[in-house]
Amino acid sequence: MKIAVLGAGVSGLTAARRLKAKGYDVTVYEREGKAGGLAKSRIVDGYVYDPHGGHIFNSKNQDIVDWVFSLLPKENWQFHVRNAKILFGDKYISYPFELSLCELEPDDALDCTYDFLMAQQGEEPNNYRDWLIWNFGAGIAQRYMLPYNRKIWAYPLEEMETKWMQGKMPLPTKREMLRSVLLKDPSERKMPHSTFYYPTYGGIQTMIDRIAQGLDLRLGDPVTSIQRAEKRWLINGEEAFDAVISTIPLPELSRAMELPCEINRTIADLKYNSLTTVLCSCPQTDISWLYIPDKRYKTHRIGYQSALTPAAAPEGTGSGAFEIIGERFDVDRKILSKQDVVPDALNLHEVIDWEFTQYAYVIHDKNYRVNTKKVFDYFDAVPSFHLLGRFSTWNYKNMDMCMQDAFEVAARFE
Ligand SMILES: Cc1cc2nc3c(=O)[nH]c(=O)nc-3n(C[C@H](O)[C@H](O)[C@H](O)COP(=O)(O)OP(=O)(O)OC[C@H]3O[C@@H](n4cnc5c(N)ncnc54)[C@H](O)[C@@H]3O)c2cc1C
């Protein structure tokens, strides 16, 4: 049986590897000249970075952890306990904000704590803006949650739904929060990504290259046409396959495949945002991420790549990549002297490299559930055709979830 996998990101590579191990004849088509998709790395002037955002690995699923370490053994990784901070005014507050109120000025801490204890009264709102206030109280919402979320989504929060963030955003109980304020004790900060791994050398690409080893990869070979012919799938009008696993973003798929107008329209109505990442040299730090809610600055986050592994920057220097959501950001040296991009005090002056990511985050707008259901119901009925991956299943999924889904898709083939 011949299987075509469309896209050589984490999802496509994992599925292809699992299927190849079962003895299937698998071909992976990839538009770019390099495998990895969003989880790529690049080396520029001795600096190693992930141009689509720093990619750390962790998983609650032991099968996934074991599989990854079987390909790239543990001694090749740096283990980290997350050290994320929030730049609040000119102070560094520990992440998450709501469990670090004891680090605020007393008046701010009092307002935030009081409002949090009074929060969650009445009916739970179904739009994200009101939900943030309802859930965290006005003190935390106005100081941190609302300004930060306005930047990271660049989409009206009142037009977003609320169910998507379960498990993604740390949601402490009132007891945990009070405990952290009274005892100044961070031990309740057990959240997704509180510990993680990052490859010592070569960035996250090192993991990708291990997954890709031995696969039939068609790099630089974009899929432009997918047709059904005699119970098989014809890719680019050339080669026929018994089954297709598509991991390419749905809007790209709708360009390559003839779909009903209604499905094309629905796909066009799915919302996402884009991202520019700018790598700079900077002073060394042990902060893994710095969140910047302050609306005066365009960036919402800096990922300190050199805090993930000492091999990420030439000896004696550090590196940080700041991220800006929205249209492609026109990066040249001048932007860094402008005050509205990134706080000057962080010393991110020397630009080393930058990259634009068209498909960065799925946005859960009000039509999300109706639209995705319509699209997935349609594809469920398409024979021998499987959707897999972040922008193919239009979901906020990290690498480990993509791997888990790829395991499940591969298990459908017996
Ligand atoms: C800023 C940011 C930070 C992140 N940080 C983390 C993190 O720290 N840890 C973590 O686990 N996850 C992280 N993620 C999520 C992670 O990137 C994704 O879960 C994962 O990389 C998605 O893999 P994928 O294979 O599903 O999709 P993609 O990586 O998008 O792969 C799709 C592939 O399809 C290719 N393609 C597109 N069109 C065509 C075509 N027509 N023909 C052929 N090929 C095509 C693309 O080039 C790409 O290679 C982050 C994501 C972002 C945006």
pLDDT at 173: 84
Q: Per the structure, how many domains does the chain have? A: 2
CA 112 to CA 102: how far, in whole Å? 10
pLDDT at 20: 98
Q: What is the pLDDT of residues 218-273, one digit of tens each?
A: 999 999 999 999 999 999 999 999 999 999 999 999 999 999 999 999 999 999 99
CA 213 to CA 238: how far, in whole Å? 25
Residue nearest to atom 49 of ligand 1 (CA): 37
What does the block give as tokens for 323? Answer: 């991220």
Instruction: For residue 312, tell me if it sits in a domain.
Output: no
CA 404 to CA 14: how far, in whole Å? 9
pLDDT at 274: 98
pLDDT at 63: 97
- Highest average pLDDT, of 269-278, 321-330, 341-350, comes from 269-278
230, 372: one domain? yes
Instruction: For residue 361, tell me if it sits in a domain.
Output: no
133, 183: one domain? yes
129, 214: one domain? no
Distance 339 CA to ligand 1 centre (A): 31
Distance 40 CA to ligand 1 centre (A): 9
109, 178: one domain? yes
Is residue 56 a contact partner of residue 197, using CB atoms and an 8 Å limit?
Answer: yes
Q: What is the mean pLDDT of residues 49-75?
A: 97
Instruction: For residue 165, tell me if it sits in a domain.
Output: yes
Atom of ligand 1 nearest to the CA of 223: 42
Percentage of the residues of the chain whose pLDDT score is greater than 70 = 95
Distance 99 CA to ligand 1 centre (A): 31
Atom of ligand 1 nearest to the CA of 360: 53
The model's confidence at residue 330, banded by pLDDT at 50, 70 and 90, is confident
179, 221: one domain? no
CA 39 to CA 355: how far, in whole Å? 13
Instruction: For residue 245, tell me if it sits in a domain.
Output: yes
Distance 54 CA to ligand 1 centre (A): 12
Instruction: For residue 64, tell me if it sits in a domain.
Output: no
166, 105: one domain? yes
Is the model's pLDDT at 311 over the cut of 60? Answer: yes
Residue nearest to atom 7 of ligand 1 (CA): 55
Is the model's pLDDT at 337 over the cut of 70? Answer: no
8, 32: one domain? yes
Q: What is the pLDDT of residues 83-98, one digit of tens each?
A: 999 999 999 999 989 9
Atom of ligand 1 nearest to the CA of 397: 19
Q: What is the mean pLDDT of residues 194-215?
A: 97
Q: What is the mean pLDDT of residues 323-332?
A: 88
Atom of ligand 1 nearest to the CA of 388: 26
pLDDT at 328: 87
> Which segments within 167-231 are labelled E, that is strand?
195-199, 216-218, 226-229
pLDDT at 188: 52
Distance 250 CA to ligand 1 centre (A): 13
111, 174: one domain? yes
Distance 38 CA to ligand 1 centre (A): 3
Please state the φ and ψ torsions of residue 97, each to the nearest 5 degrees. Answer: -50, -45
Q: Which of residues 165, 191, 217 is at a domain's end?
A: 191
381, 252: one domain? yes
Mean pLDDT, the chain, integer: 94
SS3 call for 134: helix
Residue burial 34-53, b: 16+ Cβ < 10 Å; e: rest: bbbbbbbbbeeeebbbbbbb
371, 229: one domain? yes
Residue nearest to atom 37 of ligand 1 (CA): 248
Instruction: For residue 178, tell me if it sits in a domain.
Output: yes
Distance 370 CA to ligand 1 centre (A): 24
CA 314 to CA 397: how far, in whole Å? 32
Distance 12 CA to ligand 1 centre (A): 10
Residue nearest to atom 15 of ligand 1 (CA): 398
Q: What is the pLDDT of residues 273-301, one digit of tens each?
A: 999 999 999 999 999 999 999 999 999 99
Instruction: For residue 160, tell me if it sits in a domain.
Output: yes
Residue nearest to atom 6 of ligand 1 (CA): 55
Looking at residue 256, which CATH number applies to its domain?
A: 3.50.50.60
105, 182: one domain? yes
pLDDT at 189: 56
Range of the domain at 227: 2-39+204-268+366-411
Is the model's pLDDT at 186 over the cut of 70? Answer: no
pLDDT at 168: 62
Is the model's pLDDT at 179 over the cut of 70? Answer: yes
pLDDT at 331: 79
Is residue 157 a contact partner of residue 135, using CB atoms and an 8 Å limit?
Answer: no
The model's confidence at residue 322, banded by pLDDT at 50, 70 and 90, is very high
pLDDT at 163: 80
Q: What is the mean pLDDT of residues 184-204?
A: 80
Distance 227 CA to ligand 1 centre (A): 25
248, 379: one domain? yes
Closest among 10, 29, 387, 407 to 216, alpha carbons compared: 29
Q: What is the pLDDT of residues 121-171, one digit of tens each?
A: 999 999 999 999 999 999 999 999 999 999 999 999 999 999 876 656 667
CA 288 to CA 307: how far, in whole Å? 6
Residues in the ligand 1 pocket, defined by CB under 6 Å: 6-12, 29-32, 37-39, 52-56, 222-223, 247-248, 252, 256, 275, 357, 360, 389-391, 397-400, 402
CA 128 to CA 366: how far, in whole Å? 10
Atom of ligand 1 nearest to the CA of 389: 26
Instruction: For residue 379, tell me if it sits in a domain.
Output: yes
